[in-house]
Amino acid sequence: MFKDVSFGQYYPANSPIHRMDARVKLIITLMFVVGIFFIKSYFGFMLTAALLITIVLVAKLPIGSVLKSVRGVLFIVAFTALINLFLGGENGSEILWSWKKLVITVSSVHTTIKMVLRLVLLITGASLLSLTTTPVALADGVESLLSPLRLIKVPVRDIAMIMSIALRFIPTLFEETHKIIAAQKSRGAAFDTGGPLQRAKALLPVLIPLFVNSFRRADELAFAMDSRCYNATDNRTKMKVAKIGLADCISSLVMSGYFVVIMLDRYFWCGLVDTLMFGGLV
């Protein structure tokens, strides 16, 4: 299952989204994450889904690579949905099903659907950042955005480098874990049988070599960076200087418009669009 995880992986393509400035993409992603938590109506979720589909098409990303990011958290989504289905209802809402203390109401169904949509769209939107931006560009973007913190002696460049290394090695660690599990299975290890305690014990032969290999990689990387005199000077130059282009301006305007519509729908329209679109279903 680890080979199907797409978080942290970069999909190379020649598209306007890939050529955008990493700083702009980071700000847009932050606006998207904040905006999606303000959505209360199905209209907002439909608008968000349409926006993400448009980005995927413009970025020329295969739909399979985008859906892999959701596949890895299906258990969390299902668990959250189950809790909201039985506990997310409002007092006085119409009861659809009940058994002892377990009750499913109309409002809890709507709450569950919206929670699932919010999580799926949030994960999908965040994964588009890593799929369309290299770890190096992300690190440079974070360093540029956090550069004002240098005035208070915050090691911005080191923070950006740590983030870049973490993003770079997430897919590597998942691949290493998959190889270790395959090697242990070939020796007769069972990871899918027995109770929770037995399955946890079965993971020990995987975790120990994984940690050993991780520390070995970290040690080799530290020696490699030290031999190249990394961090020896404060005035480091960059091979590629980021510049704001037309695509960045257009994307910023589109995201600003999306954010404004979401706020209007939450605080001024108050579900009016949902009522007009779905009638008495919401």
Contact by Cβ (8 Å): 61, 132: yes
Question: What are the boundaries of each domain within the chain?
Answer: 1-133+244-282, 135-239
More confident residue, 120 or 105: 120
Position 282 scores a pLDDT of 54
Residue 149 CA to residue 64 CA, distance in Å, equals: 39
User: Taking residues 30-37, what's their average pLDDT?
Assistant: 93
More confident residue, 207 or 25: 25
Position 78 scores a pLDDT of 86
User: Taking residues 44-67, what's their average pLDDT?
Assistant: 91
In the chain, the percentage of residues whose pLDDT exceeds 70 is: 87
Q: Closest by alpha carbon to 261, among 278, 248, 276, 273?
A: 273
Instruction: Give the pLDDT confidence of 215-251 residue by residue, as tens digits.
Output: 888 888 888 888 877 765 566 677 777 788 888 999 9
Residue 246 CA to residue 253 CA, distance in Å, equals: 11
Instruction: Give the pLDDT confidence of 141-188 residue by residue, as tens digits.
Output: 888 888 888 888 888 888 888 877 877 787 788 888 888 888 888 887
Q: Report DSSP state, residue 265.
A: I
Residue 257 above 90 pLDDT? yes
Q: Which amino acid is at 71?
A: R
Average pLDDT over all residues of the chain: 82
How would you class 237 by CB atoms within 10 Å of its CB: exposed for 0-12, middle for 13-18, buried for 19 or more? exposed
Q: Report DSSP state, residue 173.
A: H
